[in-house]
């Protein structure tokens, strides 16, 4: 089975569109998302364009503020502060990565936790790890939704996450743990990675290398979630971290790239924007 993230994301966006319209009747305004894009990395430009398009589709007001890669850290912090203090702005997203001369951690920490639609702020990360109610990071949240959509009962399963980034690997491991999976986080220093991966009933791969996971690393009947977004060196097309052609013959279910995790990340960002909006409205 191919897990069609695109299909699920369309149905969630359809429902969100109705919700946004109802919220507009209730509060007299729609959620407002501001995305900051520094520089012109083609990958980041493409992600940000996708986010803006999805926001417009569901009726979320959105602005992309573009700044040159030469912006100073203090100028960027000042911009974030302005948006924090703008009562008409509900969600703030700073597209990563930032240029090397800017401290990403400083910028993330400067975003008001109430407006942090990525859930990257230390306060929101802490809440996730302490299992307190909070905004969930978009890609991990999307992965759990994909597993539910595919009818996977997570409780009691062996889950292996390859990759330990702050954005995907670590938070998805925590969400799988909260869903009662037995979780292993593998990474570049893991010994016998193929053997570890083959234990997985649920294999999540977030490495950023094409064809990193081959069929021999997958247990027959496993569910494979491919978070990778790479360019295939053979043909220049988008591809994931998993050798899809081989893997689909071994796995019971697998997400494609494109059309798997990617659209769910964007859709969860829309959900988060609505969630922060509602939280802000209810605080007034
Ligand atoms: N860069 C890659 N993924 C993400 C994401 O989910 N959010 C932000 N802000 N930047 C990213």
- The CATH architecture of the domain made up of 138-261 is 3-Layer(aba) Sandwich (3.40)
140 contacts 175 by C-beta, under 8 angstroms: yes
Check 90, 95, 115, 226 and give the catalytic one.
95
**Pair of tokens at residue 78:** 């000042």
What sections of 130-235 are H helices per DSSP?
138-149, 169-178, 193-197
Q: Is 167 touching ligand 1 by the criterion CB < 6 Å?
A: yes
Domains 27-112 and 138-261 share a fold: yes
pLDDT tens per residue across span 80-114: 999 999 999 999 999 999 999 999 999 999 999 99
Q: Which residues, 6 or more positions from 262, have their beta carbon under 8 angstroms from its beta carbon? A: 5, 50, 229
Whole-number pLDDT of residue 87: 98
Question: Is residue 4 annotated as a catalytic residue, yes or no?
Answer: no
Distance CA 94, CA 107 (A): 8
- Report domain 27-112's class: alpha beta
**Which residue ranges of the chain lie beneath pLDDT 50?**
none
Active-site residue (options: 116, 118, 226, 243): 118
To the query of whether residue 118 is one of the catalytic residues in this protein, the response is yes
The pLDDT value recorded for residue 189 is: 97
Instruction: For residue 94, give the ligand 1 atom closest to its CA.
Output: 9
Q: Is 118 in the pocket of ligand 1 (CB under 6 A)?
A: yes
Q: Is 117 in the pocket of ligand 1 (CB under 6 A)?
A: no
Active site residue 95: yes
Per-residue pLDDT, 284: 79
Quote the DSSP letter at residue 213: B
274 C-beta closer than 6 A to ligand 1? no
Determine the angle formed by the axes of helices 169-178 and 122-129, rounding to 10 degrees: 30
pTM of the prediction? 0.98
Indicate whether residue 93 lines ligand 1 (CB < 6 A): yes
Residues paired with 128 in a beta bridge: none
Tell me the domain boundaries of the chain. 27-112, 138-261
Summarize pLDDT for 12-44 with one digit per residue, the tens.
999 999 999 999 999 999 999 999 999 999 999
Cβ-contact 211, 182 below 8 angstroms: no
């Amino acid at each position: 089975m191919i897990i069609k993230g695109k299909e699920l994301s369309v149905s969630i966006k359809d429902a969100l569109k109705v919700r946004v319209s109802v919220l507009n009747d209730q509060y007299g305004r729609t959620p407002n998302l501001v995305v900051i894009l520094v520089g012109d990395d083609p990958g980041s430009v493409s992600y940000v364009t996708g986010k803006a398009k999805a926001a417009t589709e569901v009726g979320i007001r959105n602005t992309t503020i573009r700044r040159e890669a030469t912006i100073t850290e203090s100028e960027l912090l000042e911009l974030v502060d302005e948006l924090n203090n703008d009562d008409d702005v509900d969600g703030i997203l700073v597209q990563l990565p930032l240029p090397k001369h800017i401290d990403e951690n400083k910028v993330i920490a400067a975003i008001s936790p109430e407006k942090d639609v990525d859930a990257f702020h230390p306060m929101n990360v802490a809440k996730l790890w302490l299992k307190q109610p909070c905004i969930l990071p978009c890609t991990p949240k999307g992965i759990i939704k994909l597993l539910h959509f595919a009818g996977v009962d997570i409780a009691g399963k062996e889950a292996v996450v390859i990759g330990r980034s702050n954005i995907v690997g670590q938070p998805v491991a925590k969400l799988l743990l909260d869903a009662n999976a037995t979780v292993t986080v593998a990474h570049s220093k893991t010994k016998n990675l193929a053997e570890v991966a083959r234990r997985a009933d649920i294999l999540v791969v977030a490495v950023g290398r094409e064809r990193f996971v081959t069929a021999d690393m997958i247990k027959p009947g496993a569910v494979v979630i491919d978070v990778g977004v790479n360019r295939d060196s053979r043909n220049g097309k988008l591809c994931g971290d998993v050798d899809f052609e081989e893997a689909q013959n071994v796995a019971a279910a697998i997400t494609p790239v494109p059309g798997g995790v990617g659209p769910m990340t964007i859709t969860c960002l829309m959900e988060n924007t609505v969630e922060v909006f509602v939280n802000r409205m209810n605080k007034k």
